[in-house]
Structure 1
Amino acid sequence: MMVDIATYDGKLVESILGQRSVQERAMEHSRAKRMLAKQIARQRRLPQCIIIGVMKCGTSALISFMNLHPDVATAPGESNYFNNYYNRTLEWYRSQMPLSRANQTTMSKTANYFEKYEVIDRIYAMDPNVKIILVVRDPVYIYRSSYALHIEHWTRVFPLGAHLHVVDGAKLISDPISELRKVEAFLGLRHYISGNNIVFDHERKVYCRVSRSGVKLCLDKAAKGVKHPTIDPAAEAKLRTYFKPLNQRFYQIVGHDFGWT
């Protein structure tokens, strides 16, 4: 039987093109399903990590740096839910959180929780497995003397190491990557933050984060935190004498000497 080669080739080409078209449509459908799944998975979740501290200790710098991590979703501002708005529902608190995926850690901060003992049991009631990060700095410069007293209340509910981690606020400004690596480990996150996304700005003399789009973002608060307020030497000497036993007690509790001498 004679075969028309041109007709045969035409049908073969048409068949191949048709197969490619089906494959392309299947790929597009698969991409659409993945995008839809991501959109569906993104929802507002209660925080799995809460940052606490005192004023000017570095909580804003910490949450800003952690915002670099793709496995972290950070809440804007401070909700003050567990102290000022506890009469509102958990759903209201959830509404203050960012949209996140199931594999992300939702992170919130309210610095003054540290000194509000009533919030400790309230946070535990929300989630006994929540992780607490405390940021501290030399009390001589931020006028706080009761780290040891406060931390004892927190560690009764949230054990150090397993559920509570202490960040050196001064080191967070002078050597952020080393402190952030410890935070990643504490939260069980893959190591992502590095010199590729945190760089030193020599003009501002402060470390800045580099966004995923390559934009350098420097924190004004972090920059302000580099210089200590001016204190009369005689007054500073008296403050250091006063704080010394309190600091030593704090070092013993957390198992780390911060060198506030």
Structure 2
Amino acid sequence: MINFCKLFKFSKIVVPFLFIILLTYREHICRTNSEYISWDSNVQKRFPTAIIIGSQKCGTSVLLHYLSFHPSIASNKYLETHFFDSVQNNSITGYNSYLRKVPFSKKGQITLEKSPNYFYRPEVPQLVHDYQKYLQVKLKFIIVVRQPLRRAVSHAFHSERHGKLKITNLTEVLLEPKNHYVRTSLYGKNLKSWLNFFSPDQFLILDGEKLARENPVKTLQPVEKFLNIPTYFTEFDFFINTNKGFYCYRYLLFCFPTKTGHKKYPQNVTENGIQFLNSVFAEDLNLFSQLSGYYFDWMQN
């Protein structure tokens, strides 16, 4: 039988002792997203003022992970916040919930979040605009795009790997009216929705094809300029890993796993399907170029 009197006396000794240990090692125990939760008031949760809003399967995860190494940026490397595409009540209470989702930051750092579903969800621009009015800060948005048909194919097989789709005929999946994978690749249509609420100078648009094949510094330095933060990355910071086939960050020997990115798929789109989809994308890319002022070499079919 448990002797509760002895247990109570024991707890009176042990609990204060554990409390002393907790105070002594609080800097090591209290960690969130690899950021120490400091008792310094300069380290706290701050609302994001820069957001990577899309597009999915265009390299946004790679981009965010590299940017997380920048000392002027605080971000969740592995977590997509999905605040504006999952909440209905965009109130102060909701914003407090948003704050809980972001990492701690130091004074002078920019809090950056990534949720690539934001770009194509029609309700999100209005919600983000309301958030901007609440902050009274001009937000900055980063969009990564790539060749739209390749993006759609990648997205479809991504859904299959995660059990959301069973592909028996890839062409039929992509030719289905208003299907999710083609709709997400309509950059012009999606950007137009955002420009109804925000000015063009609030957007930086990056070439995901370039990010995949060239030294990442060529993509990261324009981001540094856009966010108005000190130049940190250099060409020497990255090296090509011949075994993996893409660039790695030298100082932390960081490389994405070999399963990241897929050059070959078990099915291809038929020639007729390619011609039809490229005609759809060509019209939208023309709109995208007119709205954004950007033109990439892969826009020419």
Q: Compute the displacement of 1:223 (Å).
A: 4.0
Separation (CA, whole Å) in 2 of partners of 1:154 and 1:228: 33
> 1-side partners of 2:219 and 2:198: how far apart?
20
* Residue 115 (structure 2) pairs with residue 110 (structure 1): yes
Contact 1:60 1:221 in 2 (8 A): no
Label 1:92 to 1:41 Cα distance change in 2 as closer, same or farther (>3 A).
same
Tell whether the 8 Å contact from 2:81 to 2:102 is kept in structure 1 after alignment: no
For 1:199, the equivalent position in structure 2 comes to 239
Instruction: Specify the alignment match of 1:168 in structure 2.
Output: 207
Question: What residue in structure 2 maps to residue 99 of structure 1?
Answer: 104
Q: Which runs of 5+ in 1 are unaligned?
A: 1-35
| Residues 92/43 of structure 1: CA separation in 2 closer, same or farther (3 Å cut) | same
Q: Which moved more, 1:112-121 or 1:227-236?
A: 227-236
Shift of 1:222: 8.5
Describe the superposition over 1:183-242 as per-residue Cα deviations: whole angstroms up to 9, x where unpaired.
1111001111112322211221101123xxx321112388415x2654444432332233
Aligned equivalents of 1:95, 1:51: Cα separation in 2: 18
For each residue in 1:75-110, what CA deviation from the matched residue of structure 2 results, as whole angstroms up to 9, or x when unmatched? Answer: 241121112134462111101111111211100011
Partner of residue 216, structure 1: 253
Structure 1 counterpart of 2:63: 62
Q: For 1:205 and 1:111, how far apart are their aligned partners in 2?
A: 24
Percent sequence identity over aligned pairs = 28
1: distance between equivalents of 2:258 and 2:188? 26
Q: Does 1:151 align with 2:191?
A: yes
Q: Cα–Cα, structure 1 residues 238 and 171, in superposed 2: closer, same or farther, change >3 Å? A: same
Change (3 A) 1:44 1:221: farther
* C-alpha contact 1:61 1:221 (8 A) present in aligned 2: no
Structure 1 residues 100, 137: closer, same or farther in 2, change over 3 A? same
CA shift in 2, pair 1:51/1:189, >3 Å: same
Matched, 1:78 2:80: yes
Kept after mapping to 2: 8 A contact 1:68/1:209: no
**Aligned partners of 1:178 and 1:42: how far apart in 2?**
31
Q: Does the Cα contact within 8 Å between 2:45 and 2:102 map onto a contact in 1?
A: yes
Does residue 51 of the first structure (1) align with residue 55 of the second (2)?
Answer: no
Alignment check: 8 A CA contact 2:85 2:117 kept: no
Partner in structure 2 of residue 15 of structure 1: none
Please give the root-mean-square deviation of Cα atoms over the aligned residues, in Å.
2.3
1:138 match: 147
Q: Are residues 1:255 and 2:293 paired?
A: yes
State the SS of the aligned residue for 1:107.
Answer: strand
Cross-structure match for 2:284: 246
How far residue 40 of structure 1 moved from its aligned partner, in angstroms, is 2.4
Larger mean CA deviation between 43-52 and 115-124 belongs to 115-124
**TM-score, scaled relative to structure 2:** 0.67
Change (3 A) 1:237 1:142: same
Deviations 1:119-150 (A, max 9, x none): 21221222251111111111111223421111
Pairs aligned (count):
221
- Paired residues of 1:44 and 1:98 also in contact (CA < 8 A): yes
CA contact (8 A) 1:44 1:97 kept: yes
Alpha carbons 2:186, 2:281 under 8 Å: kept:
no
Look up the match of 1:5. Answer: none
Q: Give the Cα–Cα distance (whole angstroms) in 1 for the partners of residues 188 and 106 of structure 2.
A: 37
Give yes or no for contact 2:145–2:206 (8 Å, CA) kept in 1. Answer: yes
Asked if the contact 1:134–1:165 (Cα under 8 Å) also holds between the matched residues in 2, the reply is yes
Contact 1:68–1:197 at 8 Å: present in 2 too? no
